[in-house]
Chains A and B, each alone.
Chain A
Amino acid sequence: MRRVVVTGLGMVSPLGGDVETSWKNIIASKSGAATITRFDASEYKCRIACEVKPADHEYGYDPGLDVDHKIQRQVDPFIVYGISAASQALRDAGLDNMSEEERLRAGCSIGSGIGGLPGIESESLVLANKGPGRVSPHFVHGRLINLISGQVSIKYGLMGPNHAVVTACSTGAHSIGDAARMIAMDDADVMLAGGAESAICPIGIAGFAQARALSTAFNDTPEKASRPYDVNRDGFVMGEGAGVVVLEEYERARKRGAHIYAEVIGYGLSGDAYHVTAPHPEGNGGYRSMEMALRKSGLSLSDIDYVNAHGTSTPLGDELELGAVKRLFGDNIATMSMSSTKSAIGHLLGGAGAVESIFCILAMRDQIVPPTLNLDEPSESCAGVDLVPHVAKERKVRAVLNNSFGFGGTNASLIMKAI
C-alpha cells in the first residue's frame, strides 16, 4: 500500500482566517464564542455561537483573498470558507501551480455536514413571498455539499477524484480518511481533503436547539458555554469555518522536497446502529472506530501522546467518549493527554474533524497540546485523565488520534504520526 502524508494546511475558523492565527489563539486559550450577530437571536433559546469574524476584526477572515466577488455572492458561506481553506492548503504545499499531468492525478474530497442551510432558508422565503420567478438561478449549485470540491477543482484545474463526504459531524475526518485511501489505492497522487460548515442561521440554531443539542445556560457569558467534561456543561456551541489538508503520496512528496507535516497511518470507521442522535450507551461505536484506526496504524497505545476528542460539551456524549477512550487505553491513559478544542472554537459540525486534525498536526509540529477551556470542575469520570484544563501544555507529541462522531451514529477516527 502506498504511504500518504500531509504536505499542506488551510483553515478558516472562529479564531482566525488562516491556520497560524487560529492556532496561536487556540494555544493562548482564547474563545471564539460571542452573541450571535448574523441575525437577531434575542428571542431564541440559544443566542450564542462561534462565528467566523469579519475581515476588520483582530482575527478576522477576508474571503476576498481567494474567492471572486461573484462567487461570494452566489454561493453559501460554507463553500466560500472551503475554497479559502483549500487555496491556503495548496499554497502551503507549494502545489497551487501544478502541470496538467500532475493535475490529472490531483483531486478533492471536501465535504460538509449540512451544506447551504442559510441559503435554503432565505431562498425559501423568497419563494414564499415573491414567487418562483424570483428564486436565484444559482440556488441549487450554490447550496450543494459537493460544490466545494466542484469549485476548487475548477479554480485549480484538478481533474482527479471529485468527492464529497456527508456524515454529519464526522464529515471532516471521513473526508481525510477516504481521500488518504484514494491515494493509497493509486486513484490519485494528491488530494485536497477536509470539511466546511456554516449553519449559523435562524433555522439552524432553532433546529439544533429543539433537538436539545445546544448550550442554553450561558447566553450572558458566551465564552463560558463550551465546557467539555465540566459538570456544568449543557450542550454544544455552534461554530463555523473550514479545514482542508493536502494529502500526498509519500514518495512524490519526498522527491520534490516538500515539507511533510505528518503521515496518515490509521483510519477507523463504524456505525453505532443505535439511535439517530444519542450515542451508544457504552460508547461502543466510538470504541470500535478508535480500535480499527489503531490496528491499521500498527502503533501501540503507548505511542499515542495526544487525543483530540470529539468532546462537544454535551452531557451524554462527553461522558461516553471518555469512557470508550479509557476502556481502549487502559493503563496507557496515564501517559497521554486529551483535550477538546471545541471549548475554544465551538462545534464546526462537518468541518470539525478536519480543523481538529490540523490542530493535531500542529501539536506534533510544536510539541504542545491545546487546552480544554472552562474545565473548572471535571466530572467524576475524568479522574486519572489529563484533559489539559485551561492552558496549553508543552509535552512530547509523537502520534495523535482524532475522533469525530456524528448524528445517525457515524464514527471516524484518524491516527497520524510525525515523520
Chain B
Amino acid sequence: MSETADRVKKIVVEHLGVEAEKVTEDASFIDDLGADSLDIVELVMAFEEEFGVEIPDDAAEKIATVKDAIDYIDSKQ
C-alpha cells in the first residue's frame, strides 16, 4: 500500500468513525462508508490540509471512492 493510501485511510477512519477494514480502495464514501455530502466536504478539507494540495470543487465532486481520492492526491504531488 502506498504512503498516500495509508494516510488517506487514516483520515477516513478518523472522520467517518468506520472500522479500518471497511476502508478498501474500492469503497464508496457514500454507499459503503455512510458519508453524506457534507462529510465529503469535510474529508476533502482534511486531505487538503494533510497533503498540502488544493482540491477545487469540480475535482472534489468527482471523488467518490477511496481510490479516487488517492489517485487525485498522487497526481498533484
Interface size class for chain B?
10 to 19
Of A68, A69, A74, A134, the residue contacting B45 (CB under 8 A) is: A134
Q: Check B49 against A137 for contact (C-beta < 8 Å).
A: no
Complex Cα spacing A76 to B41, Å = 19
Name 18 A/B residue pairs within 8 A (Cβ), A-sorted. A68-B17, A70-B16, A70-B17, A70-B34, A70-B39, A72-B17, A73-B15, A73-B17, A74-B42, A133-B45, A134-B45, A134-B49, A136-B42, A136-B45, A137-B38, A137-B42, A138-B38, A138-B42
Interface of A is mostly: helix
Q: Which of B49-68 contact A (CB under 8 A)?
A: 49
Q: Which residue of A lies closest to B35 (CB)?
A: A70
Residues in B neighbouring A136, C-beta threshold 8 A: 42, 45
The 10 closest A-B pairs by CB, nearest first: A69-B17, A137-B41, A70-B17, A137-B38, A137-B42, A70-B16, A138-B38, A68-B17, A136-B42, A134-B45
Q: How many Å from the CB of A125 to the closest CB on chain B?
A: 15
State in angstroms the CA–CA spacing of A69 and B42 once bound together. 15
Q: How far is the CB of B29 from chain A (nearest CB, A)?
A: 12
Contacts of B42 in A (CB 8 A): 74, 136-138
How far is it, in angstroms, between the C-alpha of A136 and the C-alpha of B38 when the chains are bound?
9
Q: How far does the alpha carbon of A73 sit from the alpha carbon of B12 in the complex, in Å?
A: 13
Chain B's closest residue to A72 (CB) is B17
Residues from chain A with Cβ under 8 Å of B34 in the complex: 70
Q: Which residues of B contact A72 (CB under 8 A)?
A: 17
Shortest Cβ distance from B16 into chain A, in angstroms?
Answer: 6
Most buried by B among A69, A72, A134, A137: A137
Are A70 and B49 closer than 8 Å at their CB atoms? Answer: no
**Contact residues in B for A73 (Cβ distance below 8 Å):** 15, 17
A133 CA to B41 CA in the complex, in Å? 10
Q: What are the residues of chain A within 8 A of B38 when measuring CB–CB?
A: 137-138
Task: Quote the shortest CB–CB distance from A249 to chain B (angstroms).
Answer: 35
What string of 1s and 0s marks CB contacts (under 8 Å) between B22-40 and chain A? 0000000000001000110
Cα(A136)–Cα(B65), bound, Å? 21
Q: How far is the CA of A74 from the CA of B39 in the complex (A)?
A: 9
Q: Per-position contact with B for A128-140: 1 when CB-CB < 8 Å, else 0? A: 0000011011100
User: How long is the Cα–Cα vector from A136 to B41 in the complex, in angstroms?
Assistant: 8
A68–B16 Cα distance when bound, in Å, is 10
Chain A residues near B39 (CB-CB < 8 A): 70
From residue B33, how far is it (CB to closest CB) to chain A in Å?
Answer: 10
**Binary interface profile of A, 61-92, with partner B (CB < 8 Å = 1, else 0)?**
00000001110111000000000000000000
B12 to chain A, nearest CB (A): 11
Report the separation of the CA atoms of residues A134 and B49 in the bound assembly, to the nearest whole angstrom: 9
Complex formed: what's the CA distance from A138 to B39 in Å? Answer: 8
| Across-interface contacts of A133 in B (CB, < 8 A) | 45
Residue numbers in B under 8 Å from A134 (CB-CB): 45, 49
Residues of A within 8 A of B45 (CB): 133-134, 136-137
List A386-408 residues whose CB lies under 8 Å from chain B: none
A70, A73, A133 — most chain B CB neighbours (10 Å) = A70
CA distance A8 to B17 in the complex (A): 30
Q: Which chain B positions have C-beta within 8 A of A137?
A: 38, 41-42, 45
CB-defined contacts of B15 to chain A, threshold 8 Å: 70, 73
Compute how far the CA of A138 lies from the CA of B35 in the bound complex, rounded to whole angstroms.
13
How far apart sit A133 and B16, CA to CA, in the bound complex (Å)? 20
Q: Which of B15, B17, B34, B49 has the largest number of chain A CB atoms within 10 A? A: B17
Chain A 102-143 interface residues, beta-carbon cutoff 8 Å to B: 133-134, 136-138
Q: How far is the CB of A103 from chain B (nearest CB, A)?
A: 22
Cα distance, A72 to B15, chains bound together (Å): 10
Q: How far is the CA of A367 from the CA of B14 in the complex (A)?
A: 47
Q: In the complex, given contacts A70-B15, A138-B42, what are 4 additional A-B residue pairs having Cβ atoms less than 8 angstroms apart?
A: A68-B17, A69-B17, A73-B15, A134-B45
